[in-house]
Amino acid sequence: MQINLFEKIIGSGIYSGYSPVASGTVASLVALLIYFIPGFEQLYIILPISILFFLIGIPIGNKFENFYGKDPAQCTIDEFVGTWISLIALPKTIPISIAAFLIWRILDIIKPPPAGKLEQLKGGFGIMIDDVISAIYTLIIMHVIVYLIGKF
């Protein structure tokens, strides 16, 4: 099963998946840079784009997995979605974005339950869903942090 140019660009997170080291972190940095495009943080933009990339990430992830093997490093569309979910409805500041990025990367690497178990699922859904779970955890942690900071 061949991967066409569009699928390669989107699935690899604008080729960040082909980074020789830490492709997931490189992809998350690229996604963070996209987040800093003015207006991207608006709910009417970040939510539909995150949902769209999740949905197209499943069939693209299937193709990447068929071509490269189980949950390949080259497929980083899941890091894009995870990064964006981690930042939903947070103040768009550099310190908050850095904190969310760091927490997101840690949780994506350690894969707290049920993320680790769901990652074992075959195909694009398995590729995508563990990152979504870790991103939701990050989002909750960040909103608690922002709320607590606002209380002091």
* Among the listed residues 49, 48, 78, 47, the one whose alpha carbon sits nearest the alpha carbon of residue 61: 78
**To the nearest whole percent, how much of the chain has pLDDT over 90?**
94
Give the count of domains, the chain. 1
Peptide bond into 114 cis (omega under 30): yes
pTM of the model: 0.96
Range of the domain at 112: 5-151
Q: What pLDDT, on the 0 to 100 scale, is given for residue 36?
A: 98
Q: Would you place residue 151 in the very low, low, confident or very high pLDDT band (cuts 50, 70, 90)? A: confident
